[in-house]
A and B are shown apart, each in its own frame.
Chain A
Amino acid sequence: MEHMPQVIRKTSPYLRRPQAKVSRMMSDVVIALIPVIIFAIYSFGWSAVWILLASTLSMTLTEAIYYWITSPKGETAFTLSNYSAVVSGLIFGLTLADNTPIWVVVITGVLGILMAKLFFGGLGQNIFNPAALARVLVAVNFATLSTYQANIPIIDGEAGATVLQTLNESGNLFNADILNHIPLWQLFTGIGVPGSLGEVSALLIIVGGLYLALRHSFEVRIPVVFIATVFGLASAVAVYQGLGIWYPLMHVFSGGVMFGAVFMATDPITSPITKPGRIYFAFALGFVTFIIRLFGALPEGVVFSILIMNMFVSAFDYFKWSNPRFTTKGSVIFAGVVVAAIAVVLVGVSYVG
């Protein structure tokens, strides 16, 4: 044996899955966002570019500077290289209205990533989704500055309001007239629909979601259950009120449900760890979103519900009842919860309606 290499002692296993990488997972999200970003720029022009630049740069630079200060040699978890801050920045930017002032974007972006991620200890330690938190900061602090506009004028002077806002303001939540302004196909494709940068085109979001599903870069159960829950609860209301299929479809295709379900709720760091847990979590998200829509009249219902449910993730994962497999007991309880949720919604509707 002429060549005698050094023998290193390790512990098993000695092999690792070659394709598994955090940076791959995160860059996949960026790739999935590309159609949405292009469409945002197409619809909103330069303002979309500036907002996305501001949101992404503010978040990534904050993270970089934070680590530069706290760990000068860069030896600890400097996480920029895995694109997680870029992903948060892009997603945050895409949830904003096109006329949000840049300084608002920058302030909330910086605060969002600091409060939601860095103060918790960086990637993987955070409880709240940084993009959702930043978006909620905008909604809470700068509400009047963020109304929605599209570059295509909306008929009947409804400019500046999304479908949901219009419904709420019309005083009749179940008014089919809304469809005269914006037909469903427009809601689906996002063409000529007012709303935030990235949330308007359900079609392109689905394309991105399919890509992520094929690459196994997100948990496909979360968006599916989330959207199905919103659709299902809205359908129950539709049946109860004698409305058409347009009603649940409109709920699904408007106001960021698709975007939030595909790109925000699926953030693995801020969702439960087991398969059943993720399904329960997604159902809860759908339920809370729908309740906020019915009673709260907030266009940011989705981001609020994501933050609310983020707080309960550790409860879903609590070791005494979390289970990696579906159990009969779990399924029975879950079925009961679903029935109760429908009942709550219908009772609520009979008051509102």
Chain B
Amino acid sequence: MIKKSRKVRDYKELTKALPTMRFLEPESVYIHLQNGRCKTYDLYVKEGDYVKLGEVIGIRHGGFFEQPIHATVSGTVGTVSKKLHRTGRKVDCVEIRNDFKETYHESIVDRTDQAIAELTQDDMVQILKEKSLVGLGGSGFPSYIKLATKEKIDTVVINAVECEPYLSSDYRLILEHPRRVIAGMTYIMQALHVKTGIIAIKKSKDPLYQVLTQVIKGKFPEYDIQVVKLGDYYPQGWEIEVFRNALGIDVPHGELPMKYGVIGFNVSTAAGVYDAIKHNLPVTKRYFTLTGDAIKYPQNYRVKVGTSVKKLIELSDGFKEDYDKVNIIMGGPMMGVSTVSCDVIVSKTTTSVIVLQDTDYEEQPCVRCGSCVYSCPAHLEPVQIMNAVKRNDKDVMKGLGAYKCIECGLCAYVCTSKIHVTDYVRKAKRLIG
């Protein structure tokens, strides 16, 4: 207990070996009109209109950017209603009733390799902007802004670490579509005039290593792309930790990695770049893990953006009868957000839904064992921050650097006394934020 601990049981065996099920055809999809970054929107269509797959049906307005909204199926527009978003709040969603024809919008045309070779950074930024690509690992940060960087980049890093327990959708994506991922990566490299690239995976995922190295050798011999295996600990997938271990670059808190010559993209985002550049296609589908100890058949799915999770749970044969109370978590079980109902919608940035038996951990008084301090990847002292929160001493919270917390959840995970330390640190962040 009194030790640095970064091992988190990963439970990936539940779904890792299962091929992705394609669940492409929901009767209706619900497209978010708002999200965490964009509060207001304009909708260009009205109830009864016919839309095609990939058509722009509206635009979201954010602080500094706009996001076009795309239809992910072809069909007729239904009503606008409030639906749960992955952040746990209700947001406006527009329904599109699927006509099951998969009629693509006229704008969805492939670019030839020749045409792609001529694209400049600005062209690509423009395409990503039109296709509304965002960080699909969950960050939701607009990718075109990242790609538009003016800094001199030396290395493009594709983050395929997927260190959260239970998740395996990135794993399956690479196994099943390695070429899309690598091609997307080469487009990013082209845009930024970068010669070297790195795909970071976990040590324990040797199949990925095999697949990726072979595809790189066979199909992309002219690129200098390395597959590096990183440690099997949590939170290895944290971008800063990836850069540190794969490249030896330490990016201090609050600084952009681009300043240090590196830029990171999630695997799904790289595949999204490929779709956008090659097929001129926005993100209409996503790789998605539905798992947990309270669901009957854990499964990887490839779903339309806008699908109801409820439908997917039904497809997995529902909840196990063993538990009366469950948590439904959008995202991973360490950092994800729990929702109040299974009636949530898969958005572009939803990587997974985890259904867990609800456990009440009995908290004991803190015994100052120090494992939260030893384990914190951001090198904070979570227990001291917690004590400062209890005293409401903001100077100390600031002095202890609570704002640097990445909310990885490790301090609560390791706590000998089963205290929800992470919540206290979160509170400190809010108080001094």
Contact = CB atoms under 8 A, between A and B. Distances in A.
A274 B409 contact: no
B373 A8 contact: no
Interface residues of B, number: 72
A24 B415 CA distance: 13
A175 B29 CA distance: 90
A353 interface: no
Q: Which of A12, A218, A322 has the most CB of B within 10 A?
A: A12
A69 interface: no
B379 A22 contact: no
Interface string A1-30: 111111111111111111111101100000
Contacts of B417: 22, 124
Contact of A12 (B313, B336, B367): B336
B365 interface: yes
A165 interface: no
A322 B373 CA distance: 11
Given A1-B313, A22-B417, A319-B399, A15 B9 contact: yes
Contacts of B380: 324
Main secondary structure of the interface of A (DSSP, over half): loop
B1 A16 contact: no
A312 B335 CA distance: 37
B342 A324 contact: no
Interface in A103-130: 122-125
A271 interface: yes
B374 interface: yes
A24 B367 CA distance: 12
A47 to B, nearest CB: 32
Interface string B220-260: 00000000000000000000000000000000000000000
Nearest to A212: B2
B412 interface: yes
A12 B358 contact: no
A219 interface: yes
Nearest to A121: B365
A6 B335 contact: no
A181 interface: no
Interface in A255-303: 268-269, 271, 273-275, 278
Interface stretch (B47-55, B89-97, B420-428): B420-428
Interface residues of A, number: 49
Contacts of A12: 329, 333-338, 407, 409, 422
Contacts of A305: none
B432 interface: no
B416 to A, nearest CB: 5
Contact of B323 (A5, A21, A123, A269): A5
Contacts of A278: 370
B326 A1 contact: no
Interface of A: 1-22, 24-25, 77, 79, 82, 84, 122-125, 216-219, 268-269, 271, 273-275, 278, 317, 319-320, 322, 324-325
Given A5-B325, A18-B9, 5 more contacts: A3-B321, A17-B414, A20-B371, A273-B381, A324-B376
13 contacts: A9-B327, A11-B338, A12-B333, A12-B336, A12-B338, A13-B333, A15-B165, A15-B334, A21-B1, A25-B1, A216-B2, A273-B370, A278-B370
